């Protein structure tokens, strides 16, 4: 029971860590409205560069990877819980993905960089793979990780290194974003985000191999659940230490190659697919390094108390992800405060830290009073809406050490 309890705590804390890192990145990007105010002093511009480079080195492409890994883990936990009750969760999971898509569309209206709708679409592929053997799942995950489509493009580029490469389709959509995001019309921003912005994000994720990467991480997360890798014991401790070492060593050459690709490869037909593959690989290795390090630190005597503070944030990850889009777009976009015009990277970073602190205070307060976050509650209840309508909530009252506890029988 102790190991099981700690497993959930560390997963929630890790999810909270991912939420905070995403929040910091979104703020320095002005929620995808890239703009550098004029007249920034040279000394502050230097600080801006350090903050920008550091945050993107640490979290760029890694925070969403953590989310994807934990998404696959959560899928396994839900499947396993229902299998113990004799139920097949796959149909319910399809319905749950549809609900997530709705959340994603709502979120996209405020922030076109939404990832929820993409998870909902890619998550469908988990359903036919849910009962494959560990070996089959691992093979598929590795193939997807290797970016098979980009490998084909790379071979094509090697055969014809001089062929002309058209600009990525996403560029034409991103170029139009400033027309509505900087304007003062709320409805024009909503419309632009749901049409032009959504197409930009779909094309960008396809062009950068994110769909293959995402499903690969879903499957790795599902395998981590099957192997109970987040349960704390000596065997898993050794696993995370090995992961930390192997991922750290593997990341170093990948990062060196990544930073020198433009100098090493002249042909764009070769360089473009190679860069997509290499970025995907290096991000996953560094993400694995961070996850392993986080798990080990979480279970250490010195860092456990501090890292466990992130647990309430992680338990409300859906609510926090959507709420940061609503608040962030209002802070930076033209229809709101329009602070994109005045906040350079340093000030945007400080804004992100402030929002993270406020988020922690709110989540801590909420967790003491409610079992789930606001949107998590809606998602859970609508997921099981037929059960909730047909089966009344049963409750029993027990007295333990002179304290009255009310327990309700709900669906996991």
pLDDT tens over the chain, length 412 residues: 334 444 469 999 999 999 999 999 999 999 999 999 988 999 999 999 999 999 999 999 999 999 999 999 999 999 999 999 999 999 999 999 999 999 999 999 999 999 999 999 999 999 999 999 999 999 999 999 999 999 999 999 999 998 988 999 999 999 999 899 999 999 999 999 999 999 999 999 999 999 999 999 999 999 999 999 999 999 999 999 999 999 999 999 999 998 888 888 999 999 999 999 999 999 999 999 999 999 999 999 999 999 999 999 999 999 999 999 999 999 999 999 999 999 999 999 999 999 999 999 999 999 999 999 999 999 999 999 877 666 554 433 333 333 333 333 233 3
User: How would DSSP label each residue in 211-233?
Assistant: HHHHHHHHHHHHHHHHTTTTS-S
Report whether 51 contacts 59 (CB < 8 A): no
Number of H helices, E strands in the chain: 21, 2
Q: Per-domain residue ranges for the chain?
A: 2-369
Q: How far apart are CA 380 and CA 411, in angstroms?
A: 9
pTM flag (> 0.95):
no
Report whether 386 contacts 95 (CB < 8 A): no
The pLDDT value given to residue 385:
87
Q: Which long-range contacts (CB under 8 A, 24 or more apart) does 333-340 make?
A: 333/31, 333/33, 333/181, 333/182, 333/189, 334/181, 334/182, 334/183, 334/184, 334/185, 334/189, 335/183, 335/184, 335/185, 335/186, 335/188, 335/189, 338/182, 338/184, 339/30, 340/30, 340/33, 340/35, 340/182
């Amino acid at each position: 029971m102790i190991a099981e309890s700690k497993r959930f705590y560390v997963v929630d804390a890790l999810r909270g860590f991912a939420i905070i890192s995403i929040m910091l990145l979104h703020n320095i990007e002005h929620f995808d409205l890239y703009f550098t105010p004029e007249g920034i002093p040279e000394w502050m511009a230097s600080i801006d560069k350090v903050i920008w480079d550091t945050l993107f080195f640490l979290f760029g492409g890694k925070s969403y990877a953590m989310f994807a890994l934990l998404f696959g883990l959560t899928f396994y936990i839900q499947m396993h819980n229902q299998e113990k009750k004799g139920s097949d969760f796959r149909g319910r999971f399809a319905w749950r993905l549809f609900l997530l898509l709705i959340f994603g569309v709502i979120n996209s209206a405020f922030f076109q960089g939404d990832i929820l709708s993409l998870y909902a679409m890619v998550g469908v592929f988990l359903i036919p793979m849910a009962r494959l053997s560990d070996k089959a799942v691992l093979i598929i995950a590795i193939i997807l990780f290797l970016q098979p489509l980009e490998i084909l493009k790379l071979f094509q580029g090697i055969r014809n290194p001089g062929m002309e490469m058209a600009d990525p389709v996403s560029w034409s959509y991103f170029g139009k974003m400033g027309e509505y995001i900087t304007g003062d019309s709320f409805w024009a921003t909503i419309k632009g985000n749901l049409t032009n912005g959504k197409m930009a994000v779909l094309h960008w994720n396809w062009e950068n191999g994110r769909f293959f990467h995402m499903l690969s991480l879903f499957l790795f997360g599902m395998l981590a659940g099957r192997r109970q890798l987040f349960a704390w014991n000596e065997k898993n401790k050794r696993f995370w230490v090995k992961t930390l070492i192997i991922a750290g060593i593997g990341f170093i050459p990948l990062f060196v190659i990544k930073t020198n690709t433009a100098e090493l490869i002249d042909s764009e037909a070769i360089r473009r697919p190679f860069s997509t593959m290499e970025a995907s690989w290096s991000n996953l290795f560094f993400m694995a390094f961070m996850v392993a390090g986080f798990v080990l630190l979480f279970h250490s005597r010195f860092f456990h108390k501090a890292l466990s503070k992130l647990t309430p944030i992680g338990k409300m990850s859906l609510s926090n992800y959507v709420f940061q889009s609503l608040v962030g777009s209002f802070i930076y976009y033209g229809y709101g405060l329009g602070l994109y015009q005045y906040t350079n990277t340093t000030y945007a970073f400080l804004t992100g830290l402030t929002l993270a602190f406020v988020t922690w205070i709110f989540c801590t307060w909420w967790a003491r009073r409610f079992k789930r976050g606001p949107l998590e509650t809606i998602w859970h209840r609508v997921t099981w809406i037929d059960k909730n309508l047909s089966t009344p909530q049963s409750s029993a009252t027990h007295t333990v050490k002179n304290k009255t506890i009310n327990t309700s029988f709900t669906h996991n």
